[in-house]
């Protein structure tokens, strides 16, 4: 293997590592965003029905049912 081939192989390897690091950073950011969305959805499902009941009670009060 000549020096030029070794140099080209090192360049390719370095470029590949850099690309993989960039892809890893993108995937980590997407995973973080997905986790935040899942957490928000969890709390919405957990307490959304309470908010819906309160909204219904306020609406009923304004309509004169209570």
HEC string of the chain equals CCHHHHHHHHHHHHHHHHHHHHHHHHHHHHHHHHHHHHHHHHHHHHHHHHHHHHHHHHHHHHHCCC
Domain that holds residue 34: 1-66
| pTM score, whole prediction | 0.60
Q: What is the pLDDT along the chain (66 residues), one digit of tens a residue?
A: 788 899 999 999 999 999 999 999 999 999 999 999 999 999 988 898 999 999 999 999 999 986
pLDDT at 28: 97
How many domains in the chain? Answer: 1
């Amino acid at each position: 293997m000549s020096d030029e081939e070794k140099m080209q192989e090192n360049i390719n390897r370095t470029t590949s590592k850099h690309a993989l690091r960039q892809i890893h950073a993108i995937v980590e950011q997407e995973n973080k965003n997905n986790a935040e969305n899942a957490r928000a959805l969890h709390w919405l499902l957990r307490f959304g029905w309470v908010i819906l009941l309160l909204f219904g009670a306020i609406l009923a009060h304004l309509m004169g049912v209570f």
